[in-house]
Amino acid sequence: MRFVNSIFGNFCCSVFGNVLAFVMRVIKHSTLVAFWSAHAETEQPLKTWYAMTKAADWTCMNDVQQAFPKAKVLNGERVRFEICGGNYRLVVAFFFPAGMAWIKFVGTHEQYDRIDALTVEDF
């Protein structure tokens, strides 16, 4: 298997070129790793979020909400996820046509209350 990047997104293909699955590209995994290194209790929930998102074939916000019912759609692009029962927040911007998810913010609930989730660009 190999991954192929195209203008339509990232695809997992066999060596024969058959498209097997669409995958979401998450930018930037190292942000999550750095955060869970400082907040150990978030490691497993963030790993689960990452694995589910990376394997997703979402095409719209409804797909995101089906996978994460507690997620809050902030606008046509951004979603807020609750981590560890809402003690931490993750804001992600999606561009569905290219299968991309950009991490815009990860922090405590208190930190989240001090930012504008619609414009934050921490990473």
Q: Which fold has domain 24-113?
A: YaeB-like fold (3.30.2310)
To the nearest whole number, what is the mean pLDDT of the chain?
A: 87
Q: What is the pLDDT of residue 15?
A: 46
DSSP-derived 3-state class of residue 123: coil
Neighbours of 107 (CB within 10 A): 19
DSSP 12-79: EE-TT--EEEEEPEEETHHHHHHHHHHSGGGHHHHHHHHHHHHT----SHHHHHHH-TT-EE-SSSEE
Sign of the Cα torsion 71, 92, 6, 1 reads negative
pTM here is 0.81
For the stretch 53-103, pLDDT in tens is: 999 999 999 999 999 999 999 999 999 999 999 999 999 999 999 999 999
Asked if 104 contacts 93 with a C-beta cutoff of 8 angstroms, the reply is yes
| Residues pairing with 1 in the sheet | none
The residues spanned by each domain of the chain are 24-113
All residues at 6 or more sequence positions from 86 whose CB lies less than 8 Å from its CB, including other chains: 109
Report the pLDDT averaged over residues 1-17. 45
**Tokens representing residue 116 in the block:** 């504008």
